Structure 1
Amino acid sequence: MEKDTKIYVAGHRGMVGSAVWRALEASGYTHLIGRSSSELDLRDTQATHDFIAKEKPHAIVDAAARVGGILANSRNQYEFLLENLQIQNNLIQGAHQNDVDNFIFLGSSCIYPKMAPQPLKEEYLLTGPLEPTNEGYALAKITGVRLCQALRDQYNRNYVSLMPTNLYGPNDNFDLETSHVLPAMIRKFHEAKQNGNAPVTLWGSGTPRREFLHVDDLARAVVHALEHPLPDNLYNVGTGTDITIKELAGIIQKAVGHTGEIRWDTSKPDGTPRKLMDVSKMKALGWKAEIGLDEGIQQTHEWFLQSFLS
């Protein structure tokens, strides 16, 4: 792919999209385009198709989505299903109709069955029931994977789906009502530290195991997928290692400098018991995660202090 190739990054102001934008710029790409949600509502079919027809990008990276943690997902199943379907369907159909041959569809490890064997392999998709608390989002993303696969098979499009594990990093969402577990913990420990190292109450038992990937590592995987046409449709993107939520809390508490008590509210849901990705397919093609969890959490905490709180 030439460095002056026109690449449209949908959702370029979000955590994932902004990381992809940075990674593309760092790799020398000079013709990147993006639109904020106020400039282009990707839920609007006609507006999205008109934009793609006018700009005629050579590649599209779909980093646009409605996302959130357990609370936001469980309370808004309708919106998470409908709006994610609207966004991705408009982008995928618009790309196909305008002969955009390169498309990177981004989703999440939550597409896999709740009780699937560990580590999660790509072939486990649609082999069992999903985790109920984020079923709306997961169903939408599964549909996107299948749409890209169908276009790849029927029309020979270079459409690839990358499914990252739990992401974190700069530009994350730190809202306690809608955020994921890692940024929510950073904010909770920070506020408790500011409040005289008050106790911190966290959801669930702390026993589920989770895998965490710095968003800059995912962004490098996107660049890799654009520069090296991949032979299959679906790839997991992660570190291949996981920790318990209790262990995560300990790392974040230390990074923030909170010295108070941690309390676990076991009346709240744990979610999926474990979500560890098998990332052997991506590793075989020359990509692997590089940012360690301790280093990444320290960087994210610093960004939170400098950018979110400023």
Structure 2
Amino acid sequence: MKKVLVTGGTGLVGKALEAVIKNHAPTDEEWYFAGSKDADLTNLAATQALFAREKPTHVIHLAAMVGGLFHNMNNNLDFLRNNLLINDNVLQTAHEQGCIKVVSCLSTCIFPDKTIYPIDETMVHNGPPHPSNYGYSYAKRLIDVQNHAYHDKYGRQYTSVIPCNIFGPHDNYKPESDVPESEKVFTVFGSGKPLRQFVYSLDLAELMIWVLRSYDSVEPIILSVDEAQEVTIYEVAQAIAKAFDFKGKLVCDTSKADGQYKKTASNAKLRSLLPDFAFTEFETAIETSVRWYKDNYDHARK
């Protein structure tokens, strides 16, 4: 029997994994979705207690201190220290307790700020990340370093996935979120011109389950929509406004920072292994996410 522990299991991706597993749960797998109430993963003893209780054979490691652009800019030290602690505690405890496989979740923001596009898996460590979120980025990069170190010393099959920007039901809708919105005037932070690839959380969940079951390399793999599906932040705002049937005004607040202009990622490696995977259409996924937000407004994470 395979026992899968999901850290950060009550967040956006954890909830998506739970939804997918409910529909396609194999009889030889048991899943446990751990949230912050289960354990403070910055604490080694608490992490060890969680693993001792659940006895996982496999781990999907999603837990992290996360935030939008402006939260990162003001708290790089906290993002660095807390994520270093979480990642080291999870990976070392997984090793000590004999976990067969760990799949950790990274982010395209860890890539070098000065680079050529599209970025791919070979370029993670090629230069400094964008200065706005260097604390988070360096902590996440070190997961890849640790994965290789556990593989080299102990033969561990610990790997990582690098998704593009994720959205969907159960997202965190705080004003500091990456794509904020308000009531009568829809204010877009920055110029609206930066380009991003967005992956629907349910699509990402399916891909991460495939990685857990079938991807047998320590090397990271980018889980992203195709380059042709890249959109501007303003186009995202337009899609959200349309899904809300919003008739007000869209305004770009150029006093706010844009962050990186683009971080276009190549999914060529994924496509070579899963050529026929069909991503949900962007506008359809936005509509589904907005419908979930409306239906769950009173207890959505705001």
Instruction: Judge same fold: TM > 0.5, yes or no.
Output: yes
Report the equivalent of 1:219. 205
Is 1:33 the counterpart of 2:32 in the alignment?
A: yes
Alignment of 1:70-109 (within 5 A): 70-109=69-108
Q: Does structure 2 retain, via aligned residues, the 8 Å contact 1:255–1:298?
A: yes
Could you tell me whether the CA contact under 8 Å between 1:208 and 1:272 is conserved in 2?
yes
Equivalent residue, structure 2, for 1:180: 178
Identity, % of aligned positions: 32
User: How many angstroms apart in 1 are the aligned matches of 2:218 and 2:14?
Assistant: 23
2:285 alignment partner in structure 1: 296
In structure 2, C-alpha distance between the alignment counterparts of 1:223 and 1:229, rounded to whole Å: 9
Q: 1:195-222 CA distances to partner (integer Å, 9 max, x unpaired)?
A: xxxx322211111101100011111111
Residues 55 and 254 of structure 1: CA distance in aligned 2, closer, same or farther (over 3 Å): closer
Distance 1:274 1:87 in 2: 28
Moved more, 31-40 or 108-117: 31-40
| Residue among 289, 297, 300 paired with 1:308 | 297
TM-score between the two structures when normalised by the length of structure 2 = 0.92
Q: Which amino acid aligns with 2:282?
A: L
Which residue of 23, 36, 44 corresponds with 2:20? 23
Does the residue aligned with 2:188 lie in a helix, a strand or coil?
Answer: strand
Deviations 1:98-151 (A, max 9, x none): 111110000111110113211111111121221111111111100111111221
Please point out which of 225, 232, 235 is paired with 1:247.
235
Flag as ranges the 4+ runs of structure 1 deviating above 3 A: none
2:2 maps to a residue whose letter is T
Q: Could you tell me the TM-score, scaled by structure 1's length?
A: 0.90
Partners of 1:49 and 1:221 in 2: CA distance: 28
Residue 206 of structure 2: SS of its match in structure 1?
helix
Q: For this pair of structures, how many residues does the alignment match?
A: 294
Q: Against the structure 1 CA distance between its residues 36 and 232, is the aligned structure 2 distance closer, same or farther, given a 3 Å change threshold?
A: closer
Q: What residue number does 1:270 align with?
A: 258
Distance 2:278 2:230 in 1: 13
Aligned-pair CA distance for 1:232 = 4.5
2:296 aligned counterpart, secondary structure:
helix
1:230 and 1:283 map into 2 onto residues whose CA distance is 16
Deviation readout 1:205-264 (Å, 9 max, x if unpaired) = 111101100011111111101211333421001102311112212111111111222221
Deviation at 1:23, TM superposition (A): 2.2
For the residue of structure 2 that corresponds to 1:141, the secondary structure is helix
User: C-alpha offsets along residues 35-78 of structure 1, whole Å, 9 cap, x if unaligned?
Assistant: 33123111110121232234321100101111111111112112
Match of 1:167? 166
Within 5 A, what are the aligned runs for 1:46-125? 46-125=45-124
What residue ranges of structure 1 are gaps of 5+ in the alignment?
193-198
Structure 2 runs not aligned, ≥5 long: none
* Paired amino acid for 1:208: P
1:278 deviation in Å? 0.6
One-letter code aligned to 1:255: A
Contact preservation (8 Å) 1:152, 1:233? no
**Which SS does the other structure have where 2:103 is aligned?**
strand
Deviations 1:265-285 (A, max 9, x none): 212111111011111111211
Distance 2:154 2:224 in 1: 29
Measured in 1, the distance between the counterparts of 2:273 and 2:285 equals 24
Task: State the SS of the aligned residue for 1:150.
Answer: helix
8 Å Cα contact 1:20-1:220 kept in structure 2: yes
Amino acid at match of 1:277: A
